Amino acid sequence: MSIARLPWRVRVLLVTVPAGAAMFAAIALAPTSSDPAVGDVPRASETQCLPIEPITSVDGLNDIASTLRGSPEFQGADVGADVELQDGRRLWVFGDTLRSPTFSGQRFVRNSMLVFDDSCADVVLPADHGALIPDREDGVGYWPMSIAKVEHVGYDLVGVAAQRVRGAAQPDGAAAFENLGPAIALFVVRRGDTPQLLEVRDIGADLAGTKRTTWGAATAVEGGWVYLYGTASPGADLVFGFSLQVARVRPDDILDASRWRYWDGSRWQQHASEATTLIPATGGVSQTLSVFRQAGRWYAVSKRDEFLGSDLVVWSSPGPTGPFFAAPPVAQIPSNEKTGALRYMPLAHPDLLPEQGSIVVSYSQNNTDVGEINANPFLYRPRFLRIPLP
């Protein structure tokens, strides 16, 4: 039985326990087979250390983003969702990632991963030097949206919620993309080791558009549950934001959508179509955002009204199911039509450089002129700021 066909729980054993014990576990839990590759775990490779100074301030974060010369494997990218591992390292996932012309592999991939400690930034690469979460055989790729972890003895189980995307041709020839639905990628990260991809699972059938809720736009682990927040756009005139809904599931069942339960306003039930709206689309959140718990309250951080908006807003709630109330804008992150500069997708980092009453937030940058990005990849990296919590 090939590794790719083994249940993800078995693959965790193969990666996290000694080779002899792993082989025994695989034989005990998998069907018998003459295939000698049962114990041959596919491994990601990690680049050499890119030296950095310890990060002690928001200014330091922005110095790295705006001045640090990337390795050929990573020049620029958007998203930048992160999680702190139990060994003190910080794992970041990024969306569309630009690599240098000298890189031996794909120049542009739908996703990538960096691992930071106090002295190094390492790019995690698969053996084929493509996307870390590989494209499907039909070319559909995976854009990361959010990330969360569950700690186990000696390793972290890390989940990355992504949206499935495929390219679409516009009449004028410009590149466009279709959202086909969400997916979950599971990684296992042993203490001090390279993250290893266990499994990627598409959630639901392909269906183009954003009217259907994209679950995993934000993710939080709390009280033994994974909360998966979903966003949807009604596609109505003059409505530029996305609505917010929530589902939950036990961590071990996250790949089984039949075990997910959706909040309908009064209880958790099994029908996604009955999920209630926590934040309406009018004046609503971006397609991807952050939701987290801190000091006994829950917060949603987003740019109101997606690309066309300017306001960075914090919604707060007494619990994960709302009601969520918007505070006055805490910052302005407008795009610029004249220069083509785009500022979008603010994400919260609650445990990064923590200070009471505030959090660090990043936002993605891009430009409508691809030539500008190719000439200066620093324009295609997140920037950071600190904002107060209401």
Q: Nearest-5° angle of CA 115, CA 120, CA 126?
A: 40
Tokens 């500008």, residue? 372
| Bridge pairing between strands 331-332 and 311-317 | antiparallel
Asked whether residue 87 carries a pLDDT value surpassing 60, the answer given is yes
* Average pLDDT of the residues in 215-225: 98
Total domains in the chain come to 2
Q: Are 69 and 182 in a shared domain?
A: yes
CB-count burial class (<10 Å; 0-12, 13-18, 19+) for 68: middle
* Average pLDDT of the residues in 116-143: 95
Q: Are 38 and 77 in a shared domain?
A: no
Q: Which two tokens stand for residue 332?
A: 């302005």
In this predicted structure, what is the pLDDT of residue 42?
Answer: 54
In DSSP terms, which residues pair with 285 in a beta bridge? 242
Q: Are 347 and 264 in a shared domain?
A: yes
Q: Are 21 and 52 in a shared domain?
A: no
In this predicted structure, what is the pLDDT of residue 171?
Answer: 41
CATH of the domain at 74: 2.115.10.20
Helix (H), strand (E), coil (C) string for the chain: CCHHHCCHHHHHHHHHCCHHHHHHHHHHHCCCCCCHHHHCCCCCEECCCEECCCCCCHHHHHHHHHHCCCCCCCCEEEEEEEEECCCCCEEEEEEEEECCCCCCCCCEECCEEEEECCCEEEEEECCCCCCCCCCCCCCCEEEEEEEEEEEECCEEEEEEEEEEEEEEECCCCCEEEEEEEEEEEEEEEECCCCCEEEEEEECCCCCCCCCCCEEEEEEEEECCEEEEEEEECCCCCCCCCEEEEEEEECHHHCCCHHHCEEECCCCEECCHHHCCCCECCCCCECCCCEEEEECCEEEEEEECCHHHCCEEEEEEECCCCCCCEECCCCEECCCECCCCEEEEEEEEECCCCCECCEEEEEEEEEECCHHHHHHCHHHHCCEEEEEECC
Asked whether residue 185 carries a pLDDT value surpassing 70, the answer given is yes
Alpha carbon distance 196, 122 (integer Å): 14
- The residue with greater pLDDT, 384 or 19, is 384
Q: Which of 131, 135, 232, 246 is nearest to 183 (CA)?
A: 135
Q: Are 220 and 178 in a shared domain?
A: yes
Q: Are 38 and 49 in a shared domain?
A: no
Q: Are 81 and 3 in a shared domain?
A: no
Lowest-confidence segment of 22-26, 54-58, 69-73, 222-226 by average pLDDT? 22-26
Alpha carbon distance 126, 90 (integer Å): 19
Nearest-Å Rg of the Cα atoms of the chain is 20
Q: In 139-169, which positions are buried (b, 16+ CB within 10 angstroms) versus exposed (e)? A: ebbbbbbbbbbbeeeebbbbbbbbbbbbeee
Residue 6 lies in domain: 1-42
Alpha carbon distance 177, 174 (integer Å): 10
Percent of the chain scoring above 70 in pLDDT:
87
pLDDT in tens, 227-264: 999 999 998 888 999 999 999 999 999 999 999 999 99
In this predicted structure, what is the pLDDT of residue 31?
Answer: 38
Q: Are 189 and 223 in a shared domain?
A: yes
pLDDT in tens, 298-343: 999 999 999 889 999 999 999 999 999 999 999 999 999 889 999 9
Q: Are 196 and 83 in a shared domain?
A: yes
Tokens 């926590």, residue? 278
Q: Are 162 and 202 in a shared domain?
A: yes
Q: Are 28 and 58 in a shared domain?
A: no
Q: Is the pTM of this model over 0.75?
A: yes
Alpha carbon distance 275, 40 (integer Å): 43
Phi, psi dihedral angles at 326 (to 5 degrees)? -85, 135
In this predicted structure, what is the pLDDT of residue 29?
Answer: 38
* Average pLDDT of the residues in 36-41: 37
Q: Are 1 and 126 in a shared domain?
A: no
